[in-house]
Amino acid sequence: MEVLANLINGMSLGSVYAIIALGYTMVYGIAKMLNFAHGDVIMVGAYICFCSVSYLGLPAIAGVLLSIVGCTVLGIVIERLAYKPLRSAPSLNVLITAIGVSYFLQNAALLIMGSDPKSFSSIISLPALHLFDGRLTISATAVITILACVVIMVALTMFTGKTKMGKAMRACSEDRDAAQLMGINVNSTISMVFAIGSGLAAIAGVLMCAAYPTLMPTTGSMPGIKAFTAAVLGGIGSIPGAALGGVLLGIIEIFARAYIGTQLADAVVFAVLIVMLLIKPAGLLGKTVSEKV
């Protein structure tokens, strides 16, 4: 029962990583950049939901919706102000800008909300599931998180494969200049990618704080880095790969905490990334692409 409980907890934590990693992988797949401020958008989304429920007294669902809307707008603003002017700049410039945006969001939250950790009351009030005569208890938060991850992955896969905007995203991913010559508005497409990714970050932030109810300005930093690790593990640029990498990483982390130690759990997670980069650099579901020189 202990192994099964750890497996379910790992899938729940991994589902949060997977939702965050989907934002990473979409931005990288279309814009060919690593948005390291993505983890801090998670923190902003959690704070919006917290303030809506705790200070304004709104229902939990209204807090979640406000969080999604706020982070979606924030993602578009970040893309327009910070990344759009660097569209043709070297990748190092974009990377440094992303780190700068990350520190800006963290310090803005520090100034506005303070450094004291906030207790995030769970927005999920459903009863837990008791299986095997009560020997196995599955929280409603874990069930909803796993279901949300599956629904989001399927919806994104269908969106990118079936809709006009999704096909425009795939075209920009293949060849941005050719897509522009074919009449696709590349700037609007990239803004839409940031909007979707930031909206997913808001959902991930709310689900993560529902499971681990402590909120502070640095809340999104480590989950953001681990989600990036999950995206690389599964194959960055691949939507199913990001979901698979996130779930696997969550399971590895929970089992490492249970059987190796909480201090070494993060080390085990990043050691898995190093091994994967040595054995299969493209990731589990990624494709190795050869570039013509």
pLDDT tens string, the chain, 293 residues long: the values are 788 888 988 999 999 999 999 988 888 888 778 888 888 999 999 999 999 988 888 888 899 999 999 999 999 999 999 988 888 888 888 889 999 999 999 999 999 988 888 887 777 777 777 777 777 888 888 889 999 999 999 999 899 888 898 889 888 888 888 888 888 888 889 899 999 999 999 999 998 888 888 889 988 888 888 888 888 888 887 888 888 999 999 999 999 998 888 888 888 888 988 888 888 888 888 766 555 55
CA angle at 189 for the pair 187 and 195, rounded to the nearest 5° = 105
| Sign of the dihedral defined by the CA atoms of residues 263, 265, 268, 273, in that order | negative
Instruction: Classify strands 136-138 and 129-131 as parallel, antiparallel or unpaired.
Output: antiparallel
Number of domains observed in the structure of the chain:
1
Torsion of CA 38, 43, 44, 50, to 10 degrees: 150
Rounded Cα–Cα distance for residues 87 and 140 (Å): 43
226 within domain boundaries: no
List the structure tokens of 5. 């409980």
Whole domain around residue 194: which residue ranges?
1-109+137-219
142 within domain boundaries: yes
Residue 267 identity (one-letter amino acid): A
What angle in degrees, to the nearest 10, is found between the helix axes of 2-31 and 38-54?
120
291 within domain boundaries: no
20 within domain boundaries: yes
- If you ran DSSP here, which 8-state letter would residue 82 be given? I
Rounded Cα–Cα distance for residues 204 and 200 (Å): 6
List the structure tokens of 225. 């880095």
pLDDT of residue 139: 85
Quick check: 231 and 24 in contact, CB under 8 A?
A: yes
What angle in degrees, to the nearest 10, is found between the helix axes of 239-259 and 221-234?
120
Rounded Cα–Cα distance for residues 216 and 24 (Å): 22
- If you ran DSSP here, which 8-state letter would residue 84 be given? G
228 within domain boundaries: no
pLDDT of residue 105: 93
pLDDT of residue 291: 55
122 within domain boundaries: no
149 within domain boundaries: yes
pLDDT of residue 74: 94
List the structure tokens of 34. 């690593």
167 within domain boundaries: yes
Q: Which residues lie closer than 8 Å to 93 by C-beta, 6 or more apart? A: 86
Give the containing element (helix H, strand E) for 130: strand 129-131
Residue 289 identity (one-letter amino acid): V
pLDDT of residue 249: 92
pLDDT of residue 47: 92
Q: Which parts of the chain fold into alpha helices (H)?
A: 2-31, 38-54, 60-78, 91-113, 140-162, 164-174, 176-181, 186-211, 221-234, 239-259, 262-279
Output the pTM of the full model. 0.90
